[in-house]
Structure 1
């Protein structure tokens, strides 16, 4: 289990998603900011978010083990811990074979990366692993605080909890569209899904969790988008987020679509429905 408390709900997005908005998101009562992408080892994006806020946890989703040297990342972790104790969670992962020329034996690479982090004094309870299927989920349970799945249906959340067992953290990402028009909501989801449908590791996971006929490069069907993107009113979206909690997630990181829009109004509407600001004492 993580050594720091994330709360039940956080926010996921790219750095530009949070630039100048991290403090506003903190005030809404969310427990964590997950900054996506494959950042350089100095984690400058995360440093900026930490400096802008006072309490909220800042997490990496994820540091790529092929491109950010473990020793340098460990130095950054310790620098963050000295300046912002108890507020940074290090998410790591192996990325995608289509994006990395070096991509060979990702499992062994992650194991060796964890060995280096351990040798440099990064605590197990402050690391989470991007894990979708059995072997990586088992490694997440054994060597880190837990798992951080991305763009997965509730069926994967249930599987992940069973694979992890009762102790480790399960912090899943969930995409949302505040839109009651089905066609418009699906269009927003399809724009994002298109990239991931070109990645074999995601497609292989989706085959296992409800879409056995899916192929790399396929278009996103309406059924697929409805399973992976929560849409509708704030009440309907919140019901979808809570389904992940009911399936075993400890924490859900909300990503608002479309990605280039200002997410704060949608996050505010969801926070009000969830009662987050009230719980945070705002």
Structure 2
């Protein structure tokens, strides 16, 4: 079936119970959460599981280094029990800022930690008793008291070939971010055609291109200067066009960094225009191989978020 996801909580309006309950009738198939410095990744989905039992639910993503392996398994099992067969656990390495500076963890060997967590979760969520020395952690005798009757699918945040191939080989799908419709083909080239590919797509429903680009530049500078995203866009082929931004950012000149981002990069990575134009752009991603678009509309205050969500529903 064709999938059409949305990010919850909604920007500007939070966990709107009535709107979440309305999503299936609007044509939305999925609700996905994130976990950065706002809501945690699981609570919004636990509520949505009750408010809209038709929706598939997913985390995109929860970090593998901010919870212990056992706690992550317990939390996933709890939600899988509340939404049997319709919960996807999205996990990923995250970033040094989130893991170390905000959560007092250690951001070490991110690929290996993600791989080891995936392998542990497979066994734990199947109800096995796990005693294993992995490369990045050890577990002694962990067994879920209540393993879910239907273990959740596990999908990996993956931006470059090594993690994408791990997602295709051992997980149930890959989650990506900050890419254009054309970039989807390059990402898809690293994974099997049958592998689910999920992406959060930032959307601004506005015809004020100058305002949109100003907002987009701030977002792009904030994300794409993070090493993992910088490497991702080097791989996608934007290394040279983004070099002036990186150099200005490294020099501490934030204003120059923003100015150095070309309009075409913003237009590639931020969907904007009328609701109809935005929907058409989302469909370009799908036509290029994206399985599950997850819309992330931003709130400019021009119209209520519930109206934006309704206007972006698939037609």
> Which residues of structure 2 form unaligned runs of 5+?
101-105, 127-149, 250-256
State the SS of the aligned residue for 1:174.
strand
1:120 to 124, 130, 144: 124
The equivalent residue for 1:183 is 210
The equivalent residue for 2:224 is 197
Q: Please say if residues 125 and 145 of structure 1, whose CA atoms lie closer than 8 Å, have aligned partners that are also in contact.
A: no
Q: How many residues align?
A: 268
Structure 1: distance between partners of 2:14 and 2:90? 17
1:9 to 4, 12, 20: 4
Q: Please say if residues 125 and 151 of structure 2, whose CA atoms lie closer than 8 Å, have aligned partners that are also in contact.
A: no
Structure 1: distance between partners of 2:118 and 2:201? 26
* Cα-to-partner distance string for 1:167-204 (whole Å, 9 max, x where unaligned): 11011111111111210221232343232133111122
Q: Please say if residues 41 and 61 of structure 2, whose CA atoms lie closer than 8 Å, have aligned partners that are also in contact.
A: no
1:232 to 269, 273, 290: 273
Q: Please say if residues 91 and 129 of structure 1, whose CA atoms lie closer than 8 Å, have aligned partners that are also in contact.
A: yes
The equivalent residue for 2:32 is 34
TM superposition shift of 1:38: 4.4
TM (norm. structure 1) is: 0.86
Structure 2: distance between partners of 1:69 and 1:41? 15
Alignment of 1:242-281 (within 5 A): 242-258=283-299, 262-271=304-313, 274-275=314-315
1:24 to 22, 25, 30: 22
State the SS of the aligned residue for 1:120.
helix
Q: Please say if residues 41 and 76 of structure 1, whose CA atoms lie closer than 8 Å, have aligned partners that are also in contact.
A: no
Q: Please say if residues 175 and 230 of structure 1, whose CA atoms lie closer than 8 Å, have aligned partners that are also in contact.
A: yes
TM superposition shift of 1:144: 0.8
Q: Please say if residues 8 and 44 of structure 2, whose CA atoms lie closer than 8 Å, have aligned partners that are also in contact.
A: no
TM (norm. structure 2) is: 0.77
TM superposition shift of 1:119: 1.9
* Cα-to-partner distance string for 1:65-124 (whole Å, 9 max, x where unaligned): 010222222222222232221221110000013433311211100111012101202588
State the SS of the aligned residue for 1:33.
strand
The equivalent residue for 2:86 is 87
Structure 2: distance between partners of 1:35 and 1:264? 17
The equivalent residue for 1:145 is 172
> Which residues of structure 1 form unaligned runs of 5+?
276-282
Structure 2: distance between partners of 1:262 and 1:136? 38
* Cα-to-partner distance string for 1:10-69 (whole Å, 9 max, x where unaligned): 012457655123223333221111111148988223212222222111111111001022
The equivalent residue for 1:241 is 282
Q: In 2 relative to 1, CA 233–132 (structure 1 residues): closer, same or farther, beyond 3 Å?
A: same
Q: Please say if residues 35 and 62 of structure 1, whose CA atoms lie closer than 8 Å, have aligned partners that are also in contact.
A: yes
State the SS of the aligned residue for 2:99.
coil
Q: In 2 relative to 1, CA 142–161 (structure 1 residues): closer, same or farther, beyond 3 Å?
A: same
* Residue 109 of structure 1 pairs with residue 113 of structure 2: yes
State the SS of the aligned residue for 1:163.
coil
